[in-house]
Amino acid sequence: MEKKNVLIVYAHQEPKSFNGALRDVAVSALEEDGHDVYVSDLYAMKFDPVASRNIFKDLKDPNYFNFQNELSHAADTGQLADDLDREMKKILQADLIILQFPMYWLGLPAILKGWIDKCFAERVCFDTTNMKWYDHGPFVNKKLVLSFTTGGSASYFSNTGVFGDMDVLLWPIHNSLRVTGLQVLAPQIFYAPGEIASDDRKRMLDGWRERLRDIWKEDPLPFVHIDNFDPHLGFKLSEMYVQEHKDATLGPTAGQNMGKDFNHMKTK
């Protein structure tokens, strides 16, 4: 197989954690297949997730701070802080991005959310002004997968579970990452690894290793193509799309469910 570049963004405080083991398995499996693997260990890097004005050398508008505007301006003018410049270069060269993390409060850890907020700059990773986003975004040839652990068992995350349907919980994360054009793959979810036997944890690690061998062949999760959203309707589904799918039993996604049950993703 052609050599690929892989970026693993690792967000756990403890190297000996199960997340650490998952990171190590990914590095070894991908390197054994001849790929170049780069790890951004956010805690070890002491990555600052706060979107403050202090990270900018010169402000475009010193009188009114708009973080996204200043981030885009810094990227355009070559004035990014050194750490952000390094991370964006890793993103730009990556063929596959793995976000490795423990789920906190049904979402991303703050340090990882901050990494996304600060490193996915407009006009570098997407461009809403020129409609270079979603299926027309610059990252349409890149893949991304969420690999994460949970504190609760799978039953907690069912559509009758106490935490709710995992597809619904992950929808805003998956859909927001797609703004860049990324091919979002089915998530790799490790339910409650701290509550199971060591043999079962080993099977989880082996399954992750096996999946990574063929991850390049995987199709992305199904999403509605951006061309089916009408800018004249405030980027709502076009009337034509709605009419064509009005008699369908299922809505197309968790987000655009059209008031129906929806197509569920295939978790790994």
Contact 109, 101 (CB under 8 A): yes
Cα separation of 97 and 39, whole Å? 10
Cα separation of 236 and 36, whole Å? 40
CA separation (Å) from 202 to 61, 190, 207, 221? 53, 11, 9, 27
pTM for this structure? 0.95
Q: Where in the chain are the domains?
A: 5-221, 224-268
Give the pLDDT of the chain (268 residues) as one tens digit per residue.
799 999 999 999 999 999 999 999 999 999 999 999 999 999 999 999 999 998 888 899 999 999 999 999 998 888 888 999 999 999 999 999 999 999 999 999 999 999 999 999 998 999 998 899 999 999 999 999 999 999 999 999 999 999 999 999 999 999 999 999 999 999 999 999 999 999 999 999 999 999 999 999 999 999 999 999 999 999 999 999 999 999 999 999 999 999 999 878 766 6
Q: Which fold has domain 5-221?
A: Rossmann fold (3.40.50)
